[in-house]
Amino acid sequence: MTKLKVCGMRNKENIQSLLEVQPDYMGFIFYEKSPRFVGEELDADFLLSFPRSVKKVGVFVNAHPDFILKNVKKYGLELVQLHGNETPEVCRGLRSRGLTIIKAFALDNNFNFARLNNYKSFCDYFLFDTKSESYGGTGQAFNWDILKNYDNEKPFFLSGGISPVHVEMITELKGMNMHAVDINSLFENEPGSKDVEKIKVFAKQLRQAFQVPHV
């Protein structure tokens, strides 16, 4: 069953409301140039008290390993999302420290999936986002047809401009090794503040669409 990741969280009250929706993953952005950068807003004790069913993902862009490890420990992050130009060696080094690694790639129609081969041994998941001048945050979806060129060897997160109207299109990817759908800006009232009611409806539709039928 495809899981749900809600990314770009930072406000305690907003996070508390979202926990009631029970997303599988909640993402926190540790990149200063992002409008959703957590800064000093995150309450570490609150994050450490999360239910085990909601996994915390730290999103980093070309960050020093020590900075990543410090925040993993401080906030109890279960996964690390590398959203920059990190090399396979960087992924290997972090994974050797016991971290679960999501490596993000920015896709356009010319993306060469052979690029992923050197990363496969050192990552647990891939994340496919829309190519842009910055690192994500475009609010635009890429052409999902190019995923037909992916070998499905490694489970992936589908990201980039996913909105409430995309559920039906997402179900067309059912045959793929899609681990989770990653939503962010198109479910916001403002950067870093999510419309929880909108997410609640989307989560219900997604879960119904991917329900395993009873035999």
Question: What ranges do the domains of the chain cover?
Answer: 3-209
Crossing angle of helices 196-209 and 12-19, in 10° steps, is: 30
d(CA 205, CA 36): 26
**Strand positions, DSSP E, 2-116:** 3-6, 25-29, 55-60, 79-82, 100-107
Radius of gyration from C-alpha coordinates of the chain: 16
pLDDT over 70 (residue 23): yes
pLDDT over 50 (residue 95): yes
**What is the model's pLDDT at position 140?**
86
Stated pTM of the model: 0.95
Cα 212 from chain centre: 23
Nearest CA to 128 out of 120, 111, 117 is that of: 111
pLDDT cut 70: percent of the chain above it? 95
CATH 3.20.20.10 is held by the domain 3-209: no
pLDDT digits (tens, 9 = 90+) for 37-80: 999 889 999 999 999 999 999 999 999 999 999 999 999 999 99
pLDDT tier for residue 1 given thresholds of 50, 70 and 90: confident
* Mean pLDDT taken over the chain: 94
pLDDT digits (tens, 9 = 90+) for 96-148: 999 999 999 999 999 999 999 999 999 999 999 998 776 656 678 999 999 99
Active-site amino acid positions: 7, 129
d(CA 91, CA 82): 8
pLDDT digits (tens, 9 = 90+) for 143-175: 999 999 999 999 999 999 999 999 999 999 999
Place of tokens 């179900």: 171
